[in-house]
C-alpha cells in the first residue's frame, strides 16, 4: 500500500510498509506478539456490554443491524436463489464480542452460528446471552460453537459455512495476517458461500489507533488486500445513519476467485471451545 497514513499520536508515515516495520518489525515474532497482546489487553479492560464493544456508541446498534440486514437479505437471495428456503444455513461470526451481531441479526437468518473471539469475558457474555441456563433454545436457530481464539490463529472447519461475517475486528490484524486469515477461511466456506466484511474506512491511506492497536484502512487499501487474498468483490454498500464524527463504514461481500479447496486437503488448527 503506497499511500501514506498517520497514527492517533500525530505521527505521519510515508506508506503502510513503513508503519508495519515500526509496529511489528520484519520477521520479529516477539514484536508482533506484543502488538497482539496490547490489542487484546485493551479490550480486556472494556465492559462486556453493547456500549462497551461499540466504544461508547451503543446507540448506533439499531442502525448498524438494519444496514447489515438489508445487505445480507439481498445477498442470500442472489447467491442461493430458490434453494434458500430449504437450505440449512450456517454462519461464522468473527470477532464476535458479546454476540451482538449473532443475537440481533445472524440467528434470525441462519440455523447455526459459530462465534470466534479472543477476549474471554466477551465470549463468556455471548455464551450466557445466547445459551442461557434452563432455557428452551430453538433447535432451528442456535449458537453452536464458541471459539476462544484470535483470528490470526483461527482456521475454520472446512466447508461448514454459508457466510463468514467479519465486522469491526479485521483492523486488529497486520496485513500479512489479514491475507493469511482469509486464505485459510476460504476453505471454511461452502462452494457458493461468501464473506461479509463490514469495517470502518479511512478517507485515504490508513489511520493507526495507538490505544487499541488497530488500523483503519481506506477503501483502496482494503481492495488491494482482498486481491492479495484471492477474493472477488461481489458487492459493496455504504452504511448510512451513523454520527458524522465517526469513520465512514462500508460493507463488502466477497467470494473466492480460486477453485474450491476439498475437505481432505485442509488441516485445521483445533481451537479452544468454552463449554
Is 151 annotated as ligand-binding? yes
Is 239 annotated as ligand-binding? no
Is 106 annotated as ligand-binding? no
Is 159 annotated as ligand-binding? no
Output the DSSP codes for the chain. Answer: --S-EEETTS-EESSHHHHHHHHH-SS-HHHHHHHHHHHHHHHHTS-SSHHHHTTT-GGGHHHHHHHHHHHHHHHHHHHHGGGGTT---EEEEET-TTTHHHHHTGGGT-SEEEEEES-HHHHHHHHHHHS-TT----SSSEEEEEEE--GGG--PPTT-EEEEEEES-GGGS-HHHHHHHHHHHHTTEEEEEEEEEEEEEBSSSEEEETTTTEEEEBHHHHHHHHHHHTEEEEEEEE--S--TTSPEEEEEEEEESSPPPPGGG-------B--
Is 87 annotated as ligand-binding? no
Known binding-site residues for S-adenosyl-L-methionine equal 95, 100, 151-152, 167
Known binding-site residues equal 95, 100, 151-152, 167
Amino acid at each position: 500500500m503506497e499511500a501514506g497514513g498517520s497514527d492517533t499520536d500525530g505521527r505521519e508515515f510515508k506508506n503502510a510498509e513503513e508503519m508495519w516495520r515500526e509496529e511489528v518489525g520484519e520477521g520479529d515474532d516477539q514484536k508482533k506478539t506484543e502488538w497482539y497482546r496490547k490489542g487484546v489487553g485493551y479490550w480486556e479492560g472494556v465492559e462486556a456490554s453493547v456500549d462497551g464493544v461499540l466504544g461508547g456508541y451503543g446507540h448506533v446498534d439499531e442502525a448498524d443491524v438494519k444496514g447489515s440486514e438489508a445487505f445480507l437479505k439481498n445477498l442470500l437471495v442472489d447467491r442461493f436463489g430458490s434453494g434458500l428456503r430449504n437450505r440449512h444455513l450456517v454462519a461464522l461470526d468473527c470477532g464476535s464480542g458479546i454476540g451482538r451481531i449473532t443475537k440481533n441479526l445472524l440467528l434470525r437468518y441462519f440455523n447455526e452460528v459459530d462465534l470466534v473471539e479472543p477476549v474471554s469475558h466477551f465470549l463468556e457474555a455471548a455464551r450466557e446471552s445466547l445459551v442461557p441456563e434452563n432455557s428452551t433454545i430453538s433447535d432451528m436457530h442456535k449458537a453452536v460453537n464458541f471459539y476462544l481464539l484470535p483470528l490470526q490463529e483461527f482456521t475454520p472447519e472446512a466447508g461448514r459455512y454459508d457466510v463468514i461475517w467479519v465486522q469491526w475486528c479485521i483492523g486488529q490484524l497486520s496485513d500479512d495476517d489479514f491475507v493469511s486469515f482469509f486464505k485459510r477461511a476460504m476453505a471454511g466456506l461452502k462452494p457458493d458461500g461468501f464473506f461479509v466484511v463490514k469495517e470502518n474506512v479511512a478517507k485515504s491511506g490508513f489511520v493507526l489507533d495507538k490505544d487499541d492497536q488497530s488500523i483503519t484502512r481506506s477503501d483502496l487499501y482494503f481492495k488491494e488486500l482482498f486481491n492479495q487474498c484471492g477474493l472477488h468483490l461481489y458487492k459493496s454498500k455504504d452504511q448510512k445513519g451513523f454520527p458524522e464524527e465517526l469513520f465512514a463504514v462500508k460493507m463488502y461481500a466477497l467470494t473466492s476467485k480460486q477453485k474450491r479447496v476439498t475437505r481432505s486437503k485442509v488441516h485445521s488448527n483445533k481451537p479452544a471451545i468454552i463449554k
